[in-house]
Structure 1
Amino acid sequence: MFASWIGYIVGGLVIGILARWIKPGADPMGWILTIVLGILGALAGGYLSQTMGITNTLVQWALAIVLAIVLLFIYEMIRKPKTRV
């Protein structure tokens, strides 16, 4: 069980870094938030691929990275300060 948690953390780190590298623009966030974002992308990608019946590991990783990028955009929209006119 401990090894699976380590796997999720390492996989989340890899997915989060890849998502930040692929997405254009600056993402001012720390390593912990990158890992959390990657883990959430991996969980969402795993759920979606299981729901769609996708068994190809490469496609599952690609889906997790795409969903992590979507989460990056959502995080950026929430975190961006509102400008007053």
Structure 2
Amino acid sequence: MLWTILGWLGFGLVAGFIARALVPGKDDIGCLATILLGIVGSVVGGALYGLITGGIREFQPAGWIGSIIGAIIVLVLFNKITGRKRRYRR
């Protein structure tokens, strides 16, 4: 049980960090928010995979690529809804 929780935390941190690195601009969110971003992104990626393949699944995590894509979607939506991130003007 403990290893499962630690695995999810590590997985979420890596997926969230990669998503933050791929989305342009600076994100002012901390480590805990990055972990949550990765975990929620994994669930979103799993749901999108289920919709694309036609097999509606329960809340299941996606693999690495699906998790990163889901985390990018969640981060972009979070930034749009909260208005936390503005594009830099030249």
Give the TM-score taking structure 2 as reference length: 0.72
Unpaired stretches in structure 2, ≥5 consecutive residues = 56-61, 85-90
Give 1:13's aligned amino acid: L
Residue identity matched to 2:37: L
Trace 1:3-82 onto structure 2 (pairs within 5 A).
3-49=3-49, 51=50, 52=53, 60-80=63-83
* In structure 2, distance between residues paired with 1:75 and 1:42: 15
> Percent sequence identity over matched residues?
37
**Distance (Å, rounded) in 1 between the aligned partners of 2:4 and 2:44:** 17
**Residue 2 (structure 1) shift:** 1.7
State the aligned residue count.
Answer: 75
Amino acid at match of 2:28: P
**By how many angstroms is 1:45 displaced?**
2.1
In structure 1, runs of 5+ residues without a counterpart are 54-58
- Cα 1:18–1:77 change in 2 (3 A) is same
Deviations 1:4-58 (A, max 9, x none): 1111100000000000001111111111111001011112223444x337xxxxx
**Which has more helix, going by share of residues?**
1
Secondary structure, counterpart of 2:24 in structure 1: coil
